[in-house]
Homo-oligomer: A and B are copies of this chain.
Amino acid sequence: MARPTPLSGFPEWLPEGRVVEQHVLDVLRRTFELHGFVGIETRAVEPLDQLLRKGETSKEVYVLSRLQEDPESPDRGGRLGLHFDLTVPFARYVLEHAGHLAFPFRRYQIQKVWRGERPQDGRFREFVQADIDVVGAGELPYHYEVELPLVMAEALGALRDVGLPPVRILVNNRKVAEGFYRGIGLTDVEAVLRSIDKLDKVGGPAVAELLVAEAGASADQAQACLELAAVAGDDESVVDAVRAVADRHGATHPLLDEGLAELGALVRAAAVRAPGVVRAELKIARGLDYYTGSVYETLLVGHEQLGSICSGGRYDTLASDGSSTYPGVGLSIGVSRLVSRLLGAGLVRATRAVPSAVLVAVANEDDRGRSQDVAIALRARGIPVEVAPSAAKFGKQIRHADRRGIPFVWFPGDPAAEDPARVADQVKDIRSGEQVPADAATWQPPAEDLWPRVVPAEG
């Protein structure tokens, strides 16, 4: 077998990179659990017809077939595809298990998803997402739309000390946009949103043309939409700014009032709970059409061109079984995109790539049992340890530890040694070279050496 080459779009980390990814996942999980989110996993596959309910993603789905399956099989309806996000499977999970869940149901879910897209920087075919959602039965109070982005702000903030740049959570509210558009007389709200969504890519004049051509807007209406999209701010003054644009264009609508009250409450709470993190930007549209209230995107400060690393919103009708609907709000972190940038831009590093804090040396193969006894004693007190692979010269065993970043090498003593200095166990810090007598029943490495840590790359 020749040396295999990587598959484009299927990222795989070396051990040190995996230490970083695992740390990110551990921090996210802990934050989510501290906030009472229940961890679930769903199967990787869903029936193809369920995956294709949202038409726009149909190209991205990987379809499964069994190798021996008849390709002419008419059983296309029963075919399975790999999930391309965690929202569709979660909606299905809620419907399937509703009788066993307590609502509002707070869940987090950290899993791989797959999309048959053309790979690009930060865009993969297989990647990890970390989602939180709260789903109600029949109704879901607005305050969850304030709470959830703040949970994500806390989770991402908890990664600051390992080298993650600050984040900026951009928020908007579909009701504000829809109320404003209707208030100035535009009725094809989805067409307006689709045009506004292109603002950053094609610029204002081109969007104005799109609004006229595709959303049936007059030049004045297009101008009004662009003025609304230009509004942004970190505090409640953003509500006044929207009001000013609305007044200028004579826009009034109950949805606009409702949306502004919500957006104001979100910005106000965020200014207290996560100062400087949340910013209202009225141009944020989010392509997916199932959002009905707040929408969120998240940029990494200094890495804005990476795109959003955490997005989501409020949806009223994603899950429904005819008799009940389950409105929800959620956000999803693109973990692979985040980790790929942390590693690729050299922002973080692991203090070592292996768990072991200690390598126990082996004086000769007949004494391996003595080295294992030391390892067992250390592990019993929670210290990660491995035993040297062979009774090579000690210099070689020390290099073995050094190559792995293992900070300590332990030399078991020899109770029968003639030299009294060799009777007791000794442990060497191979960074300083300091070697001291030690007892496996009591010795403790410094806390910062116990496990691999993830630290800023400059640190």
10 nearest A-B pairs in the assembled complex, by CB-CB distance? A36-B386, A36-B356, A66-B116, A10-B43, A33-B355, A4-B96, A15-B38, A34-B379, A62-B64, A61-B67
Q: Is A1 in contact with B63, judged by CB distance below 8 angstroms?
A: no
Q: Could you tell me the distance in whole angstroms from the C-beta of A115 to the nearest C-beta in chain B?
A: 10
Q: Are B65 and A63 in contact (CB under 8 A)?
A: yes
Quick check: A2 and B322 within 8 Å, CB to CB? Answer: yes
B-chain residues with CB within 8 Å of residue A330 when the two chains form the complex: none
Contact B65 A41 (CB under 8 A): no
Interfacial chain B residues near A385, Cβ < 8 Å: 34-36
The stretch among A97-105, A175-183, A201-209 that forms the contact with chain B is A97-105
Against B, the Cβ 8 Å flags (1 = close, 0 = not) of A343-375 are 000000000011110000000010011001000
- Whether A6 pairs with B386 at a CB distance below 8 angstroms is no
**Known A66-B61, A71-B71: A12·B41 in contact at CB below 8 Å:** yes
Q: How large is the interface on A (under 10, 10 to 19, 20 to 34, 35 or more residues)?
A: 35 or more
User: Is A114 engaged at the interface, CB distance under 8 Å to the other chain?
Assistant: yes
Contact (Cβ within 8 A) B67 A116:
yes
User: Which of B3, B15, B353, B384 is the one whose CB lies under 8 Å from A96?
Assistant: B3
Q: A2-B321, A64-B64, A353-B38 are in contact. Are A12 and B43 (CB under 8 A)?
A: yes
A269 to B320, CA, bound (A): 59
**Identical copies in the complex:** 2
Check if A248 is an interface residue, CB within 8 A of chain B: no
A415 on the B face (CB < 8 A): no
Contact A12 B67 (CB under 8 A): no
Cα distance A12–B94 in the bound complex, in angstroms: 12
Shortest A148–chain B CB gap in Å is 12
Residues 1-24 of A, flagged 1 when their CB comes within 8 A of B and 0 if not, give 111111100111111001101100
Q: A436 contacts which chain B residues (CB < 8 A)?
A: none
Q: Quick one: closest B residue to A356, CB to CB? A: B36
Q: How far is the CA of A267 from the CA of B93 in the complex (A)?
A: 47
Contact with B along A160-200 (1 / 0, CB 8 A): 00000000000000000000000000000000000000000
Residues in B with CB closer than 8 Å to A404 are 102
A321 (CB) vs chain B CBs: closest residue = B3
Nearest CB of B to A265, in Å:
11
**CA of A106 to CA of B404 in the docked complex: distance in angstroms?**
11
How far in angstroms is the closest Cβ of chain B from A146? 9
B386 & A112 in contact (Cβ 8 Å cutoff): no
CB-CB under 8 A from A384, the residues of chain B are: 33-36
Q: Contact: B389 with A36, CB < 8 Å?
A: no
Cβ-neighbour of A389 out of B4, B38, B112, B141 (below 8 A):
B141
Given A320-B1, A322-B2: A36 in contact with B68 (beta carbons within 8 A): no
Q: Are A1 and B66 in contact (CB under 8 A)?
A: no
The answer to whether A126 has its CB under 8 Å from any CB of chain B is yes
Known pairs A3-B321, A14-B97, A114-B44; A355 contacts B143 (CB<8 A): no
22 contacts between A and B (CB under 8 A): A3-B95, A3-B96, A5-B96, A14-B101, A15-B40, A18-B39, A18-B41, A33-B355, A33-B384, A36-B355, A38-B355, A39-B355, A43-B126, A58-B68, A64-B64, A64-B82, A67-B116, A102-B403, A106-B386, A136-B389, A141-B389, A147-B387
Q: Are B126 and A44 in contact (CB under 8 A)?
A: yes
The answer on a CB contact under 8 Å between B1 and A95 is: yes
Contact B59 A66 (CB under 8 A): yes
